[in-house]
Structure 1
């Protein structure tokens, strides 16, 4: 029998504890020597440390963890990390976050222990590795920090590290950032991407092609370096060498990230399809070692890639795309290898609108899943509970169109006897130069099974819709994103799908800024949830880390030259305009958005008399990794919205809400 309960208070089969499980495999790599797939995974129950797992392709055993307690595989290069380890020819090299040193581990010796390669130095970071085990070198990005530094003081270089001695040699320097070093199969060429401020990697990057040789006296020696795109302002991401040493890469020179190759002999760039498509084959390079495609290892004319909601084969000879059948419709981290039967296999994170992320091995010849390497640990859901997000195109400011995924409340055991539609949680993603999809996420279903509607907004500035859509946010951050989030909520209310009087907005990091700006500069929402969000953009311009220290030049304007715009857009200076309850969640060790950002805003709201709560977590940085804090955040958010919208949430110990109930 279906029971009547207020929206937002429905008991759900999804617990807050379960949201700390099911962490996604990152930095995926395959080593033919050991016939194994390797990945890194955050373990929330072990204080959020990074663990490396190995899944042997010739065994049905469970994935094997490789690092004992005391090791934490993680890179902090560019603060967002990625590229924390590499495996080649049975040798593992990884960055240990416990002491910031590089370590190596011989995987062919079951008794071997990790060996420290570089000195322990918290001011030196490494990531995005390219390993040549035969010559005893790893090429990496090195990021050097200093005591009492400013962002401009940090030095990023491309280096070669000799594994036997720990000797470090700089290969490229002078640019603000480097990423994606890759060596050709024949060991004669090296490629890498670089860029300089105020560009971000989705604005303008340069691709370098270098020839090199090894020297016993001078390690790795570059012979020549060619800029592949010296005169074209484009975003190039993920250069990869094919088995015939062809250099591939993704570029948005057409307005969308399409796939290209560089012809060394003619110094020409060639599109892999007949004409560029108005769809994205890659995305914004926030983290190192993000793989949107992968050249085949058995056929130099083919690549595995994304084709909208399908995994596909791109044939560079016929210039065609062929979709591969599967029950999944979202894919990430695409890698390829040849298995023991000499068949091409694609290893990829795969999910669907109703299926959590699995790490799978897909056999190209049989067009079938050969094996699920890492099944999702997210508890399986009865389809009757699953709300599938449908993309809504809605009208927004200046006659334009923006997009969101709308999820309706769904729980077969409960309904509401209210005469009003459900409350709405508008989600403003971080970045802001990133995007959201409608792939299955327990964190979404956590809310829809409790009686909330969700609008997950891809506001102007999001990726996935081409460069022009992405550029809507240039000089307009705090305006376009705010308008789109507000207009999404109002549009859904006008359709009668959600309660106009119970609209909440939630966001983290840049999404936290959009959340606070929406509350300060518009009168649409009745509650706000801010996670490690930006309240004063001037502090972001002055205090943040190097990677994003000039980001706001493009999003707002030059600082301090245009300081008045920063103040006009900063929610802190309009705190008097916020009239609805807000809860803040913050990591004490956050270097991207320091705690002061949240605390200044909390203090301002306290003084004004606005209901406000503040939750500070020890040992957390930018985003929460520990299981107990992930659980606590979800429970408190529901409890807080219950206090605001007038429904009961059982079993949650609340926190003080200053100035509540409101006068």
Structure 2
């Protein structure tokens, strides 16, 4: 094996390999056409959302068919994070077009049909989370109304019914701050989730249930809808009707998100298993139309669900859960359908493992085998000798508590580091902050480990996946608990002799960018920082952010302006003098979640204080980068920047100015 400095290894993964289309979102199945439909971001087409179709009977990969002509961008911006951009039912597809914000229909029974506009273009109205009624008279949706020169409190969220024959829009439910998951059964019942500020969907939500019918004037009418979990402190997500019209949902009333059904006779919630388990069957609902489980279409007593990442089947009569057999070990976005040729239940889902990138697959439950790899991953397939597998590590942290991270050692079949040296460490602080990471194969992480970096992907206190108590560690403690856990993860790995203590870097985007900057401003552990669309002044976040997160900080930090002093103390911008290492910032010019002012205030302060800093602004990008050229540029500059700081060479990259850092190579 050749020997080269850690961080500079030649890698089989290029930056272009990381700009392939992302994993499928909003997976939908039409039983009538026996086809799978999904939304996928295509970076090579300016990051637009394209809809794809493939029949379940197909054995030819070339049968994957894109549905939307150029000029259409299937993307929802409800809550800014979107999701629920389309739905399909009995040959009819309904989607929202981000280009003009209108809702469109598509007759998928006819080839090469142009989309037909259903609602008028209106840049102030956004739609998402569609549910098409079985008779094709209406489609239910979440509607979000915006205004000129608005403040977050001005934005109005509703549930609406859009008449498919005319495009007329009728309000079905309003008054709550947020709505998601409007769902219909086959016998006239209706359910949805709502919540009020300052809650987020993982804090406290309400589940409403009632009836609906169609009036003589073809109007959608809701009857006797009422909240069925009133007074219970719980987060309910993903209500879903079974084929016998049983209402299922996930609740964390036990302290962990478990599966329940609603007993209409007694008005009670019934666990699907014999007892609540101390594990999560769902996650934080950042997006709309999330799908962590799905009732069978062939058997009213069965559901497909996620059991610690694995695909499993719950028998609601026996109250048992059984994992399926598969080489895939991590599943997501679960949907179900009956194969009309065999009568077998198929589960369609994103699936991967620690060494295998995400495929969209159809799994045959009866045969316990893959029915079809519907859309193989576009990631480059790496030989296992290059793949670093994430190992979950529990490490000690502040207040005698335990936190968690996934550790990836550098690995490359052709290169090794110099004898007696240890690799640099990239600590990754995820966004949210109420979110989490797992050890599913990630080409981005392998990009770094094959170049000679160690990676620690941290699930700091406040992350989901470990129960409500773990999530609540961050209440009033954002900028403290997350920072301590990221620092303690790095120090623990250094003390174990796994990484170089003098080459610790931290990286994060959005809320993870705040944790990154806070760790650099309030602790003296890291030697370099990489901040992507991160928050430097959390008082600005409160004043500038969008409605969905406008009260998020009430729980994370405190009420503003009553707790203004806490906000100021925890804002990295006010402690820029404490920074002792270089930082590079990446920012989208059109970001509405974390506006460019967040980065620019910090950058200018660092410049004025004589601290090393670099700034990269991308026109046309929002919160998270979608365009291939910007994704590529960011990756190249991150490695180049760390090479400048840690003293190794990175060939072939045109750098950017690092102010107050004269010794650029």
Fold-level similarity (TM above 0.5) = yes
Mapped partners of 2:20, 2:55: distance in 1:
23
Aligned length: 661
- What is the DSSP-based 3-state SS (H/G/I as helix, E as strand, rest coil) of the residue aligned with 2:230? coil
Which residue pairs with 2:243 in the alignment? Answer: 243
Which residue pairs with 1:509 in the alignment? Answer: 510
Q: Deviations over 1:424-443 (max 9, x none)?
A: 00000000000000000000
Tell me which moved more, 631-640 or 164-173. Answer: 164-173
Mapped partners of 1:317, 1:661: distance in 2:
70
CA contact (8 A) 2:21 2:42 kept: no
Mapped partners of 2:590, 2:427: distance in 1:
27
Tell me which moved more, 241-250 or 128-137. Answer: 128-137
Q: Deviations over 1:546-566 (max 9, x none)?
A: 000000000000001101000
Mapped partners of 2:114, 2:549: distance in 1:
37
Mapped partners of 2:145, 2:216: distance in 1:
26
Q: CA deviation at 1:56?
A: 1.0
Which residue pairs with 2:56 in the alignment? Answer: 57
Q: CA deviation at 1:133?
A: 5.6
Q: Deviations over 1:320-360 (max 9, x none)?
A: 01110100111100000101221111001000000000011
Q: Deviations over 1:618-644 (max 9, x none)?
A: 110000000000000000000000000
- What is the DSSP-based 3-state SS (H/G/I as helix, E as strand, rest coil) of the residue aligned with 1:447? helix
Which residue pairs with 2:86 in the alignment? Answer: 85
Structure 1's unaligned 5+ residue stretches are: none
CA contact (8 A) 1:304 1:311 kept: yes
Q: Deviations over 1:595-653 (max 9, x none)?
A: 00000000000011111000000110000000000000000000000000000000000
Which residue pairs with 1:210 in the alignment? Answer: 210
Q: Does 1:326 align with 2:326?
A: yes
Within 5 Å, which residues of 2 pair with 1:53-452? 53-61=52-60, 62=62, 63-132=64-133, 134-186=135-187, 188-217=188-217, 219-340=219-340, 341-452=342-453
Mapped partners of 2:218, 2:400: distance in 1:
61
Q: CA deviation at 1:34?
A: 1.0
- What is the DSSP-based 3-state SS (H/G/I as helix, E as strand, rest coil) of the residue aligned with 2:434? coil
Which residue pairs with 1:32 in the alignment? Answer: 31
Structure 2's unaligned 5+ residue stretches are: none
CA contact (8 A) 1:140 1:158 kept: yes
Q: Deviations over 1:95-133 (max 9, x none)?
A: 000000000111112253211111100100000000126
Q: CA deviation at 1:521?
A: 0.1
**Which runs of at least 4 in structure 1 moved beyond 4 Å after TM superposition?**
none
Q: Deviations over 1:278-312 (max 9, x none)?
A: 00000100000110000001110110001113211
Which residue pairs with 1:23 in the alignment? Answer: 22
- What is the DSSP-based 3-state SS (H/G/I as helix, E as strand, rest coil) of the residue aligned with 1:71? coil
Mapped partners of 1:416, 1:455: distance in 2:
19
Which residue pairs with 2:565 in the alignment? Answer: 564
Which residue pairs with 1:518 in the alignment? Answer: 519
Which residue pairs with 1:631 in the alignment? Answer: 632
Mapped partners of 2:315, 2:7: distance in 1:
50
Mapped partners of 2:417, 2:201: distance in 1:
47
CA contact (8 A) 1:262 1:268 kept: yes
Mapped partners of 1:230, 1:244: distance in 2:
25
Mapped partners of 2:179, 2:4: distance in 1:
54
CA contact (8 A) 2:21 2:40 kept: no
Q: CA deviation at 1:218?
A: 5.5
- What is the DSSP-based 3-state SS (H/G/I as helix, E as strand, rest coil) of the residue aligned with 1:259? strand
Q: CA deviation at 1:216?
A: 3.5
Mapped partners of 1:323, 1:57: distance in 2:
23
Which residue pairs with 2:576 in the alignment? Answer: 575
- What is the DSSP-based 3-state SS (H/G/I as helix, E as strand, rest coil) of the residue aligned with 1:559? coil
Within 5 Å, which residues of 2 pair with 1:440-479? 440-479=441-480
TM-score, reference length from structure 1: 0.99
Which residue pairs with 1:644 in the alignment? Answer: 645
Q: CA deviation at 1:22?
A: 4.2
Mapped partners of 1:135, 1:464: distance in 2:
38
Which residue pairs with 2:485 in the alignment? Answer: 484
Mapped partners of 1:474, 1:221: distance in 2:
40
Mapped partners of 2:236, 2:477: distance in 1:
24
- What is the DSSP-based 3-state SS (H/G/I as helix, E as strand, rest coil) of the residue aligned with 1:512? helix
Which residue pairs with 2:613 in the alignment? Answer: 612
Q: Deviations over 1:127-171 (max 9, x none)?
A: 000012624210000000000000000000000001221111001
Mapped partners of 1:105, 1:249: distance in 2:
30
Q: Deviations over 1:367-413 (max 9, x none)?
A: 00111000001010010000001011000000000000000000121
Mapped partners of 1:4, 1:267: distance in 2:
68
Mapped partners of 1:310, 1:160: distance in 2:
36
CA contact (8 A) 2:134 2:186 kept: no
Which residue pairs with 1:542 in the alignment? Answer: 543
- What is the DSSP-based 3-state SS (H/G/I as helix, E as strand, rest coil) of the residue aligned with 1:596? helix
Mapped partners of 2:416, 2:98: distance in 1:
48
Distance 1:309 1:109, change over 3 A: closer
Mapped partners of 1:216, 1:107: distance in 2:
29
CA contact (8 A) 2:21 2:41 kept: no
CA contact (8 A) 1:91 1:106 kept: yes
Q: Does 1:497 align with 2:501?
A: no
Q: CA deviation at 1:237?
A: 0.2
Task: Let me know the Cα RMSD of the aligned residues.
Answer: 1.0
- What is the DSSP-based 3-state SS (H/G/I as helix, E as strand, rest coil) of the residue aligned with 1:191? strand
TM-score, reference length from structure 2: 0.98
